[in-house]
């Protein structure tokens, strides 16, 4: 298994996409996996879920499990498969269950 750590992100975040506010959080988790850049996972309760639509896309990660994808409807248009989530990940990464991660070229976390 790849070396993975999950820790609370220390600062508040504002989530925007296509000029549209998607929410804000103080509950983000930072996942670090090997030499990959860190990924921030955001609680669903802190995201405007009415803007997200689950897509048919799914992938499997041997270290995290089955991954689902979501598109975002912004005021500027649709961002397809811009969000991913491990809704029922393997036990080793259970803290990210149901949290959302965003592609940094489509969504701003700041």
In this structure, what token pair is assigned to residue 25?
A: 């959080």
Q: Where are the domains of the chain?
A: 4-109
Q: What pTM did the predictor assign?
A: 0.95
**Whole-number Å distance between alpha carbons of 84 and 92:** 18
Class of the domain covering 4-109: mainly beta
CA neighbor of 87 nearest in space, from 102, 73, 70, 66: 66
pLDDT at 75: 94
Could you report the per-residue pLDDT of 24-80, keeping only the tens digit for each?
A: 999 999 999 999 999 999 999 999 999 999 999 999 999 999 999 999 999 999 999
């Amino acid at each position: 298994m790849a070396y993975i750590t999950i820790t609370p992100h220390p600062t508040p975040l504002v989530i925007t996409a296509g000029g549209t506010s998607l929410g804000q959080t103080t509950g983000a988790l930072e996942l670090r996996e090997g030499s990959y850049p860190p990924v921030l996972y955001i609680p669903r309760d802190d995201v405007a879920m009415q803007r997200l639509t689950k897509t048919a896309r799914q992938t499997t990660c041997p270290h995290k499990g089955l991954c689902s994808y979501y598109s975002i409807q912004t005021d500027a248009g649709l961002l397809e498969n811009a969000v991913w989530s491990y809704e029922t990940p393997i036990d080793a990464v259970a803290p990210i269950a149901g949290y959302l991660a965003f592609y940094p070229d489509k969504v701003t976390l700041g």
